[in-house]
Amino acid sequence: MSKNIEFKNRDRFIELGLTIAALRKMQGMSQEQLAEKAKISRSHLSSIEAPNIVRPFSLEVFYNIADALY
């Protein structure tokens, strides 16, 4: 499979990443703390939250983040 796949949900992933960052900050959590609770690396979380990087991620990661923010 080619790595140059058109990414149709680009804006949705960016918006989701920004929302995750906002919720994390509202709870006074660092990226390190949220990443640890979500069982992902801090660099992975950073790339998910970054508005200039489109980082698709699995539902498993999404649910882990949601549970960690709950």
pLDDT of 6-48, one tens digit each?
A: 567 888 889 999 999 999 999 999 999 999 999 999 999 999 9
User: pTM for the complete prediction?
Assistant: 0.85
The reported pLDDT for the residue numbered 55 is 79
Q: Which helix (H) or strand (E) holds 35?
A: helix 31-38
Domains of the chain, CATH where assigned: 10-69 (1.10.260.40)
1: pLDDT confidence band, cut at 50, 70 and 90?
Answer: very low
Q: Which residue has the higher pLDDT, 4 or 56?
A: 56
Residue range 47-52: mean pLDDT, rounded: 93
The reported pLDDT for the residue numbered 2 is 44
Residue 24: how many CB atoms within 10 A of its CB? 21
